[in-house]
Amino acid sequence: MRRSETLYYTAMGEEMLGPKRFEALARLAKLRISPEQACKLRPQLEAILGYIGRIQTLEETPALSRNNAAPRPLREDEPAEGLAPEAALGASPNSASGYFRVPKFVKGGKQ
Amino acid sequence: MTLSAWSTAASIRDTVAKGEISCAEIARFFLDRMESLNPGLNAIVTVTEERALAAAKALDERRAKGEQLPPLAGVPAVVKDNLCAKGTKTTCGSRMLAGYVAPYDATVISKLEAAGAIITGKANMDEFAMGSSGETSAFGPARNPWNRKLVPGGSSSGAAAAVAAGMAPFALGSDTGGSVKQPAAFCGLAGLRPTYGRVSRYGLVAFASSLDQVGPMARTVEDCALLFSAISGADSRDSTCLDVAPEPAPRPPLDPRGLRVGLLAEQLEENLDPAVRDGVMKAAAILRDGGARVREISLPHASYALAAYYVIAPAECSTNLARYDGVRYGLRVNAPTTGEQTEATRSAGFGEEVTRRILTGTFVLSAGYRDAYYEKAVRARGAITLDFENAFGEVDVLLGPTTPGPAFALGSRSGDPLSMYLCDVFTIPPNLGGFPGISLPCGFTDGGLPVGAQLVGRRLQESLLLKTAAFLENGFGLTERHPE
């Protein structure tokens, strides 16, 4: 089961955004939220979800269609000149030997 | 002409063209004004003095050699701090990018400087352009020059405050749900949100990619048109940029006889400040007196626009802002593993409003909710777009309020996100359809605060919008009124 599915299925039966579901949501968003922050954010998010939930009351008619949306043309996905590697690496908080440096994420590997 | 804080871009351009003043003198004048006013307004987060003086010197040298100068030579401009300018800090109003120095120029920055404009500062803004008051900036809120206890609007808060205070004749902002039009209304400016794809977004830090657009703000419609003309046009580096030629500044003035104007009557039934309602009705009367045909128009699905927007924009923001992981640019909070580092960095770097929107976006895209929220909102967006297209089968431009009321007090809404979101209730519907819109001053409250009217046009018809706005501006006669 994917993590996003976990978010939905493990929290069934709770209020719209109960504490467990809120924690799962924060994990999905890769955010670490303190209990104090959660106390403030969770009711605000409940209110926002309550408001935007009104979209579900919009009656289904032929006018509701993805096809009516404004055109958003995309160009062909072709290789083109981009930033020079040194310019791209120059903004990184940690780089070496032409690479971005990150903490190790393979067990036993080096940083 | 004597140079003053209220000199328009058009008048500065003409004075430079006649050789009556040097570009260096103009740059120095506006940099000094910025230095004296900014401590009280917090409109500018980075003064680009070195870049400005070097550009001015280069223009003066070109003139000394007898070269013809570009069309906006010597005109100072402020740009929102989500537009990359090479070698200059681009903070996006966020701790996440507080130390980020852009390695390249945004296309609009290149075009602006190629047109001879002199960039004097990067303007404060709501963090990652998420906000309607300027208060979500990590660098403190900008203040409204008409009353410093009030917000200037947002998210292009500093750009609007700087132009209203006479720090520059015009500025570049960006508009996703109303971030050019709403602060323009709060600060007594003209602010144009162009057609989606009309202006390149290469180098604009992404918020909601199906909605973001760069737009000009100025104290006169003519200056707005000059700036728009300088930045519009195709760009191969932005895949969504339309293959359309740059827009020439519109001339001659509008003859409103035969113009069909749709008055958005449903919006006037909302809980509006009387000054806003009176201003919009006066705008309708000015157009009618000029020979235009004004009739009421309904947009049946527009009441769902705010809800649709606050599903779609957070969904796109949660995706776009996933790139801030502490690896390639911006803040990094070191931690033992990559996962912990990502979480620690994002939690330290993002402010409260950005966090709220990322969480909202993650929720509406998550399994089990995607169909009910995101898919439904996208289809609602289609219905709202169709409403506008049907309206444009009957009229040429639409007229309504830009905001429900004037600027509000700093801190008065920051604890209530929903009431803040309602600031954009009128600017969002046309944005969802990619239609161009302009806000222009249409009056003042009894307390002396400016209010704005919004004109919306068919896609790529900015020229008609600007001409109509200029006609109204002339009818209102408000351009000589400035903050004390």
Residues of B carrying an active site annotation: 80, 155, 179
Q: How many contacts, defined by CB atoms under 8 Å, are there between A and B?
A: 190
Residue B95 token pair: 């701790």
Q: CA dist B373 to A51, A70, B112, B308, Å?
A: 11, 19, 40, 8
**Interface residue B437 vs chain A (CB under 8 A):** no
Answer whether residue A13 shows pLDDT above 70: no
- B177: number of CA atoms within 13 Å, CB side? 33
Q: Are B353 and B207 in contact (CB under 8 A)?
A: no
Determine the Cα–Cα distance for residues A25 and A28; give it in Å rounded to an integer.
Answer: 5
Q: Compute how many other C-beta atoms are within 10 angstroms of the C-beta atom of residue B87.
A: 12
**What is the structure's pLDDT at A74?**
74
Chain A residues inside the 8 Å CB shell of B304: 54-55, 58
Determine the Cα–Cα distance for residues B484 and B479; give it in Å rounded to an integer.
Answer: 14
Question: In the block, which residue shows the tokens 């809800």?
Answer: B307
Rounded (10°) angle between helices B221-231 and B107-114: 110
Q: Compute how many other C-beta atoms are within 10 angstroms of the C-beta atom of residue A31.
A: 20
Chain A residues inside the 8 Å CB shell of B386: 63, 65, 68
**What is the structure's pLDDT at A82?**
85
Bridge-based pairing of strands B260-264 and B293-297 is parallel
**Interface residue A25 vs chain B (CB under 8 A):** yes
Rounded (10°) angle between helices B157-164 and B23-41: 120
β-strand partners of B144: B147
Determine the Cα–Cα distance for residues B59 and B227; give it in Å rounded to an integer.
Answer: 18
Residue B120 token pair: 């004097």
Query: Which residue among B102, B327, B336 places its CB closest to the CB of A100?
Result: B327
Amino acid at B313: A
Question: In the block, which residue shows the tokens 């504490």?
Answer: A19
Give, as one character, the DSSP assignment of residue B293: E
Q: Are B396 and B388 in contact (CB under 8 A)?
A: no
CB spacing of A80 vs B236 below 8 angstroms: yes
Task: Note the Cα B132 to chain centre separation in Å.
Answer: 11
Determine the Cα–Cα distance for residues B70 and B59; give it in Å rounded to an integer.
Answer: 9
Name the residue with higher pLDDT: B245 or A27. A27
- How close, in Å, is residue B374 to chain A by CA atoms? 9
CB spacing of B103 vs A7 below 8 angstroms: no
Answer whether residue A109 shows pLDDT above 70: no
**Interface residue B369 vs chain A (CB under 8 A):** yes
Q: Are B330 and B96 in contact (CB under 8 A)?
A: yes
Chain A residues inside the 8 Å CB shell of B360: 45, 48-49, 52
Residue B52 token pair: 């400005």
Residue B66 token pair: 């007898």
Q: Considering Cα of B279, then B285, then B288, then B289, what sign does the dihedral take?
A: negative
Per-residue pLDDT tens listing for chain B (484 residues): 689 999 999 999 999 999 999 999 999 999 999 999 999 999 999 999 999 999 999 999 999 999 999 999 999 999 999 999 999 999 999 999 999 999 999 999 999 999 999 999 999 999 999 999 999 999 999 999 999 999 999 999 999 999 999 999 999 999 999 999 999 999 999 999 999 999 999 999 999 999 999 999 999 999 999 999 999 999 989 989 998 888 787 777 899 999 999 999 999 988 899 999 999 999 999 999 999 999 999 999 999 999 999 999 999 999 999 999 999 999 999 999 999 999 999 999 999 999 999 999 999 999 989 999 999 999 999 999 999 999 999 999 999 999 999 999 999 998 899 999 999 999 999 999 999 999 999 999 999 999 999 999 999 999 999 999 999 999 999 999 999 8
Give, as one character, the DSSP assignment of residue B296: E
- How close, in Å, is residue B54 to chain A by CA atoms? 23
- B255: number of CA atoms within 13 Å, CB side? 3
**Interface residue B350 vs chain A (CB under 8 A):** yes
Name the residue with higher pLDDT: A11 or B81. B81
CB spacing of A7 vs B366 below 8 angstroms: yes
Classify each residue of B64-74 as buried b or exposed e, where b means 16 or more C-beta atoms within 10 Å of its C-beta: eeeeebbbbbb
Q: Compute how many other C-beta atoms are within 10 angstroms of the C-beta atom of residue B206.
A: 17
Q: Are B236 and B269 in contact (CB under 8 A)?
A: no
Q: CA dist B179 to B186, B191, B212, B437, B451, Å?
A: 11, 9, 10, 12, 15
Task: Note the Cα A6 to chain centre separation in Å.
Answer: 15
Residue B154 token pair: 């947002």
Question: In the block, which residue shows the tokens 């590997």?
Answer: A109
CB spacing of A55 vs B383 below 8 angstroms: no
CB spacing of A103 vs B418 below 8 angstroms: no
**What is the structure's pLDDT at A6?**
38
Give, as one character, the DSSP assignment of residue B409: B
β-strand partners of B214: B174
Residue in chain B lying closest to A52 (CA): B307
Query: Which residue among A5, A44, A63 places its CB closest to the CB of B417?
Result: A44
**Interface residue B436 vs chain A (CB under 8 A):** no
Residue B73 token pair: 């030579």
Q: Are A103 and B338 in contact (CB under 8 A)?
A: yes
**C-alpha closest to that of B120 among B79, B164, B156, B62:** B79
Give, as one character, the DSSP assignment of residue B375: I
Chain B residues inside the 8 Å CB shell of A52: 307, 310-311, 360, 364, 373, 377
CB spacing of A55 vs B336 below 8 angstroms: no
CB spacing of A105 vs B337 below 8 angstroms: yes
Question: In the block, which residue shows the tokens 């994420």?
Answer: A105
Best B84, B105, B304, B363 member to test A by mutation, with max A CBs in 10 Å, is B363
- How close, in Å, is residue B205 to chain A by CA atoms? 15
Residue in chain A lying closest to B355 (CA): A31
Chain B residues inside the 8 Å CB shell of A37: 355
Residue in chain A lying closest to B350 (CA): A31
Residue B373 token pair: 């929220």
Determine the Cα–Cα distance for residues B214 and B227; give it in Å rounded to an integer.
Answer: 11
**Interface residue B412 vs chain A (CB under 8 A):** no
Residue in chain A lying closest to B353 (CA): A41
Residue in chain B lying closest to A44 (CA): B417
Q: Considering Cα of B97, then B98, then B99, then B103, what sign does the dihedral take?
A: positive
Best A23, A45, A60, A68 member to test B by mutation, with max B CBs in 10 Å, is A68
Chain A residues inside the 8 Å CB shell of B421: 48, 51
Residue B256 token pair: 């409103």
Q: CA dist B185 to B80, B112, B218, B429, Å?
A: 17, 24, 11, 17
Determine the Cα–Cα distance for residues B246 and B235; give it in Å rounded to an integer.
Answer: 10
- How close, in Å, is residue B77 to chain A by CA atoms? 26
Determine the Cα–Cα distance for residues B62 and B65; give it in Å rounded to an integer.
Answer: 5
**What is the structure's pLDDT at A81?**
84
CB spacing of A45 vs B318 below 8 angstroms: no
CB spacing of A52 vs B310 below 8 angstroms: yes
ipTM for the predicted complex comes to 0.92
Q: Are B81 and B57 in contact (CB under 8 A)?
A: no
**C-alpha closest to that of B212 among B170, B160, B155:** B155
Chain B residues inside the 8 Å CB shell of A2: 367
